[in-house]
Structure formats: structure tokens, C-alpha cells
């Protein structure tokens, strides 16, 4: 039919989850398309700090947790991909830092000190000597300790671009889908999706499997499904960014009193080549109840306490609110791993962390089961535009 597209798999949502799965399924020989309603990476993915967590952050109470265990093999899988030898070729993605640091303004003591010491045995973490500290801590006013963690930090815009580059002919921009565009049959299977991109004619998508990786946009599907087993949660953050005229690159968590780092700092480069410090951790979690002016004021005070030897008076600040969107957990806790719900011919997925994308991809491939592979027919989408790759949030706000 003229206005019908036939594929093995249709993916909705072009953040890390959708783009990763698109790459995996194409490599496995499935006919697959991805539909995005805004810009690629426009949800949480472009706002991530870029840390490929290995789990140490989830063990700050001084013991191995299930979340730490589940993510512990991810750095190695990403390293292979970044070297061009993994399941997805990420050899052109920019690595911002080969390691993340964990620092304490004083000494690491008690349970966490013992735990970190035990971790040094398997070389995931290393206690640094003063001369090995990142430059920013090589100041006589710094009295603390620093560990090096085997966790890379990558540039998210370049990650999105590299996942998109080989698949441009498979990615299409559509208007956000509405419930009435999802046509279910009596067996509760999704028969077809009618998608539109005004002013073009609507198109019917027919696929064997539909994978929804639309982050917060998955809620539209959940409302249509009315299935209590599939639900999502939002955990809000109030992130802060600072543009600094002189560059002090830093990629580090500061140990606080709780299981969440007191502050997590990553450094990025703005369009005008100035450095951006991007601030998350407890500052961002507790900041959700503050307005923007108060959040920026608290961030300035925190930086002054943690880095009294640095003059931040020339820095420009901005903040914004963003939700982490995940599969629903008891009491709204962070899921220990990625979440994939498989219902008839629909899958709904949230990676929980972008670092878990390889694990989510693997689970989706396994859940597809013995799906037949066909040559797809996407001619009806030929005139449809491709969505842009989103601009980094610091270039929007600073
Ligand atoms: C501030 C912040 C920092 C983070 N830092 C890290 C980190 O350092 N390391 C880490 O591992 N994880 C981090 N995370 C978590 C990580 O970013 C997310 O787990 C991950 O990006 C989620 O990806 P996703 O593809 O599921 O969703 P999203 O990135 O939200 O993508 C969903 C996509 O679907 C599209 N969409 C929405 N509705 C529709 C619709 N109706 N139709 C079509 N398309 C639609 C959106 O436009 C978007 O492009 C961070 C998260 C936040 C918020």
C-alpha cells in the first residue's frame, strides 16, 4: 500500500536507548526504523554528565550493592566500543576523560575507607599520591584524599552523532504520537501505528515488534495500555552549569555524608570553546525544591567551600530542571538496572543510566526471540525529514 511502511521493528524515541537498539538490530540484519518527535538526544541523553559508571558511586555506603554489581561490567564493554572493537562502533566518540575521580575534603575513613581499600585490590580504584592528583587539587589548601576510578567520561553530543551517522536513512521525524494513532487488535497486540508529520500525509507503520524508548514520552503508550505491570517514575534533578574563563578540567565525585555524592562535577566545552563545569549529585537532587536563583547561590557557596583557592567571581551560572525517567520501583527508588517490559508485540524500555545501554540492547535482542527477518519497505517515508541532533544544553543556556 502506498502509505504503508513494513519493517521488522519500529523504534519510537531517539535517545541513547533507541539509538543503541537501532544500531544493534540493523547489524543483526533486521529491517528497522526509528521515529523521533523532537531532536535526537533531546530528552535526558544530551543532559547526561557522560560518566560511564562502573558502580563505585552506588557503593558509597561502603558495601557492594545490587546496582553497583549490575553496572560493573559496563566500562569494559564501552571501552571495546570506543576502541572500534565492540558491538557498536564508537571509535569517533570524543573521550573527555579516561577516568573519574572520587575525592574527600578530609580523609576517607570508617566503612567507606575500608571498602575503597578493598576495591584497590581488583584495580577498579586507586588511591592517589599527592603528585598524582588532578592539577586542581595540587594546591596546598587542599587537605583531602583522591581516588582514581576506572570510569571514563565521554562527550554526549559526539556519542549521539556517532550513533546516528551510519543510520541516517532509517531515522525519521514525526509529530508526537497520540493514543488514537495506536491501533490494537482484540489480542491486545499493536496492529499498526499511524504517524504524521504535518503537512505530509499520515503514514501507517506495520511492524512485527514495536519498541518504545521515548523516555518520558513512553507515558502516552502506558496510558493506552492501562496495564499496571508497566509503569514509570520520574526522579527530578535541578542541575547547575557554570562557564569559566580559565579552564580547570575536573571529572570527580565529592564524597558526602550520604549514599549520593555531595557534588559530581564534569567538564565540557561550549561552542565558544570556554569550559563548562556541569554540577550534579546531591546538589541537584536536593535542589529540586529551590528556585533557580537559590540553587545557583547554594552552588556558588558549595564551590567556595570545596575550592577556596579558586576565584569563581568571573563565572556565569545557569540552572535547569530535568527528570530522570525510569521503570517504576517500590517507593520510587532508583532501579538497580535497566528496565524492559515485554507485552505481546510491544516492548517498553528505560535504560536507567546511559551506561547501561549495552545491557539493555542485549536484553532487547534476547527478548525478540526467533523473529523473522524481512527486507523492509520504507519507501513511503522517503520524503520525511530527519530530526536534527540536539544542541548541548550549555549552548542553549549559557
Ligand atoms: C542530568 C542527568 C545526568 C545524567 N548523567 C548520567 C551519567 O553521567 N551517566 C549515565 O550513565 N547516565 C546518566 N543519566 C541517565 C541517562 O541520561 C538516562 O538514563 C538516559 O539518557 C535515558 O535515555 P532514553 O533513551 O531512555 O531517554 P531519553 O534520552 O529521554 O530519550 C527519549 C527520546 O524520545 C523522544 N520522545 C519523547 N516522546 C516522544 C514521542 N511521543 N514520540 C516520539 N519520540 C518521543 C524524546 O524527544 C527523546 O529524544 C543522567 C540523567 C540526567 C537527567
Give me the CATH number covering residue 287: 3.30.9
* Percentage of the chain lying above the pLDDT 70 cut: 95
Assess whether pLDDT exceeds 80 at residue 309.
yes
The answer as to whether 240 is a domain residue is yes
pLDDT in the model for residue 88: 97
- Ligand 1 near 353 CB (within 6 A): yes
Domain end, chosen from 269, 291, 325, is at: 325
Contacts of 382 (CB under 8 A, 6+ apart): none
The answer as to whether 309 is a domain residue is yes
Assess whether pLDDT exceeds 70 at residue 123.
no
Mutate-to-test residue for ligand 1 from 19, 20, 41, 45, highest number of ligand atoms within 8 A of CB: 45
Same domain assignment for residues 213 and 279: no
Q: Which atom of ligand 1 is nearest to the CA of 390?
A: 49
Please state the domain count of the chain: 2
Domain end, chosen from 276, 291, 325, is at: 325
Number of other residues whose CB lies within 10 A of the CB of residue 23? 25
- Domain extent, residue 197, equals 4-45+159-231+329-397
The answer as to whether 266 is a domain residue is yes
Q: Which atom of ligand 1 is nearest to the CA of 356?
A: 11
Q: Is the dihedral of CA 174, 180, 185, 188 positive or negative?
A: positive
Same domain assignment for residues 271 and 302: yes
Determine the average pLDDT of the residues in 150-166: 97
Residue-averaged pLDDT of the chain: 93
Ligand 1 centroid, distance to 10 Cα (angstroms): 18
Determine the average pLDDT of the residues in 147-163: 96
- Ligand 1 near 239 CB (within 6 A): yes
Domain end, chosen from 287, 303, 325, is at: 325
- Ligand 1 near 177 CB (within 6 A): yes
Mutate-to-test residue for ligand 1 from 10, 171, 215, 239, highest number of ligand atoms within 8 A of CB: 215
Same domain assignment for residues 217 and 243: no
pLDDT digits (tens, 9 = 90+) for 363-389: 999 999 889 999 999 999 999 999 999
- Ligand 1 near 322 CB (within 6 A): yes
The domain that holds 384 is classified in CATH as: 3.50.50.60
The answer as to whether 76 is a domain residue is no
The answer as to whether 59 is a domain residue is no
The answer as to whether 169 is a domain residue is yes
pLDDT in the model for residue 257: 79
The one-character DSSP state at 90 is: -
Same domain assignment for residues 342 and 376: yes
Same domain assignment for residues 167 and 19: yes
The answer as to whether 254 is a domain residue is yes
Same domain assignment for residues 393 and 268: no
Which pLDDT band, with edges at 50, 70 and 90, does 348 fall under? Answer: very high
- Ligand 1 near 44 CB (within 6 A): yes
Ligand 1 centroid, distance to 105 Cα (angstroms): 32
pTM for this predicted structure: 0.96
Assess whether pLDDT exceeds 90 at residue 233.
yes
Pairing of strands 263-269, 252-254: antiparallel
Amino acid at each position: 500500500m502506498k502509505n504503508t511502511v513494513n519493517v521488522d521493528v519500529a523504534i519510537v524515541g531517539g535517545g541513547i536507548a533507541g539509538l543503541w537498539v537501532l544500531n544493534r538490530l540493523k547489524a543483526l540484519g533486521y529491517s528497522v526504523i526509528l521515529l523521533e518527535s523532537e531532536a535526537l538526544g533531546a530528552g535526558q541523553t544530551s543532559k547526561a554528565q557522560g560518566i560511564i559508571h562502573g558502580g563505585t558511586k552506588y557503593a558509597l555506603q561502603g558495601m557492594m550493592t545490587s546496582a553497583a554489581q549490575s553496572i560493573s561490567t559496563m566500562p569494559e564493554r564501552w571501552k571495546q566500543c570506543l576502541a572500534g572493537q565492540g558491538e557498536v562502533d564508537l571509535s569517533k566518540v570524543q573521550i573527555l576523560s579516561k577516568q573519574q575521580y572520587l575525592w574527600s575534603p578530609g580523609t576517607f575513613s570508617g566503612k567507606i575507607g575500608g571498602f575503597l581499600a578493598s576495591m584497590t585490590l581488583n584495580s577498579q580504584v586507586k588511591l592517589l599520591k599527592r603528585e598524582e592528583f588532578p592539577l586542581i587539587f595540587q594546591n596546598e589548601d587542599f587537605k583531602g584524599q583522591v581516588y582514581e576510578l576506572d570510569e571514563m567520561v565521554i562527550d554526549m553530543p559526539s556519542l549521539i552523532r556517532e550513533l546516528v551517522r551510519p543510520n541516517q536513512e532509517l531515522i525519521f521525524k514525526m509529530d508526537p504520537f497520540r493514543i488514537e494513532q495506536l491501533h490494537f487488535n482484540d489480542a491486545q497486540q499493536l496492529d499498526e501505528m499511524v504517524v504524521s508529520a504535518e503537512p505530509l500525509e499520515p503514514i501507517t507503520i506495520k511492524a512485527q515488534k514495536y519498541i518504545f524508548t521515548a523516555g518520558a514520552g513512553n507515558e502516552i503508550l502506558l496510558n493506552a495500555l492501562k496495564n499496571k505491570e508497566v509503569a514509570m517514575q520520574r526522579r527530578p534533578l535541578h542541575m547547575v552549569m557554570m562557564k569559566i574563563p580559565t579552564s580547570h578540567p575536573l571529572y570527580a565525585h565529592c564524597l558526602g555524608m550520604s549514599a549520593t555524592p555531595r557534588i559530581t562535577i564534569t567538564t565540557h566545552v561550549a561552542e565558544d570553546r570556554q569550559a563548562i563545569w556541569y554540577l550534579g549529585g546531591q546538589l541537584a537532587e536536593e535542589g529540586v525544591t529551590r528556585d533557580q536563583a537559590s540553587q545557583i547561590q547554594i552552588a556558588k557557596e558549595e564551590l567556595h567551600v570545596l575550592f577556596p583557592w579558586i576565584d569563581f567571581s568571573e563565572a556565569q551560572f545557569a540552572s535547569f530542571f530535568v527528570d530522570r525517567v525510569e521503570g517504576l520501583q517500590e517507593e520510587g527508588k532508583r532501579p538497580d538496572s535497566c528496565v524492559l517490559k515485554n507485552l505481546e508485540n510491544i516492548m517498553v524500555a528505560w535504560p536507567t543510566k546511559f551506561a547501561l545501554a549495552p545491557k539493555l540492547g542485549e536484553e532487547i535482542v534476547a527478548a525478540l526471540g526467533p523473529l523473522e527477518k524481512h527486507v523492509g519497505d520504507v519507501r513511503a517515508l522517503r520524503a520525511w525529514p530527519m530530526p536534527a541532533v540536539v544542541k548541548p544544553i550549555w549552548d542553549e543556556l549559557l
